[in-house]
Amino acid sequence: MTLPTLNESTAAAIALGPPGQRCPVVIEDQARIPGWVNDLESFRRWALSDEYPDHGLFAYFHGDIWVDMSMEELLTHSRVKAAFTGTLVILSQQTKTGSFVPDRMRWSNVEAGLSTEPDGLFYTWAALQSGRLRFVPGTQGGIIELEGTPDMVLEIVSASSVTKDTVRLCDLYWRAGVSEYWLVDARAEVTRFEILRHTPAGYLAVEPQDNWLASAVFGRAFQLTQEVDPLGHPLYVLDMRQSQPAL
């Protein structure tokens, strides 16, 4: 029997697939990305369909599909996220200027070629009223996606997301027009917390004042402190105060 050459096999495989589609991608027998997912529009349709996996994080970054199947770490990720979520939800309720949205809400921005689920985001009511951000309803009711530009996005760095959070998203969130990108890394002995402010040339880190970082979005200054629980594990507290007037 004569076996086909590599070129013949490749040609046959290409001929069997629909034009413009790649092969489906199977990830660790846990998730499958269909071959028809090949741009932002098709990725968003897949993310809202019954074919979308129940486990894992999937994002579209300007032509690339990013996948993270790892479990979330408790001490350097979940607890940090809880500190920010608790403080910012309460602050949003007090100021009544907008809403803080915890993680696992899909957010897409067509101009930046972006669709992801950040660790948190905040939008003002003005963003919705102006059309800068809009709700995307699901086929069975409810709001299942945000499209446009929120005012602030939060990401907490994990071992599997260093380049994504510190390089790729710095560019894409800036292109999406997000006013403030909050970036936190609690994996080292000293926790790093930055507020990156949108400028015409890119994001610029806010200079700390006595270890406090001023947020123009919230009109407050913030400080992330670390405590210890009764078992010696780290706990995090996001403190806030009124921003000091510029000198």
| 218 within 8 A of 91, measured Cβ to Cβ | yes
Q: State CA 97 to chain mean position distance.
A: 22
DSSP conformation class of 166? I
Task: Identify the pLDDT of residue 34.
Answer: 96
| 136 within 8 A of 41, measured Cβ to Cβ | no
| Per-residue pLDDT reduced to its tens digit, 96-107 | 999 999 999 999
Burial 139-171 (b: 16+ CB within 10 A, else e): eeeeeebbebbbbbbbbbbbeebeebbeebbbe
The sign of the CA dihedral 102, 104, 110, 113 is: positive
Is a pLDDT exceeding 60 seen at residue 3?
Answer: no
| 149 within 8 A of 131, measured Cβ to Cβ | no
Is a pLDDT exceeding 80 seen at residue 110?
Answer: yes
Helices (H), 1-78: 6-16, 40-47
246: pLDDT confidence band, cut at 50, 70 and 90?
Answer: low
Nearest 5°: the CA angle 199, 118, 197 is: 15
Is a pLDDT exceeding 50 seen at residue 14?
Answer: no
What's the CA dihedral at 117, 121, 123, 127 to 10 degrees? -40
| Per-residue pLDDT reduced to its tens digit, 33-85 | 999 999 999 999 999 999 999 999 999 999 999 999 999 999 999 999 999 99
Give the predicted TM-score (pTM) of the model: 0.90
| 183 within 8 A of 213, measured Cβ to Cβ | no
Rounded average pLDDT over 235-245: 90
Task: Identify the pLDDT of residue 28.
Answer: 85
As a whole number of angstroms, the distance between CA 52 and CA 33 comes to 8
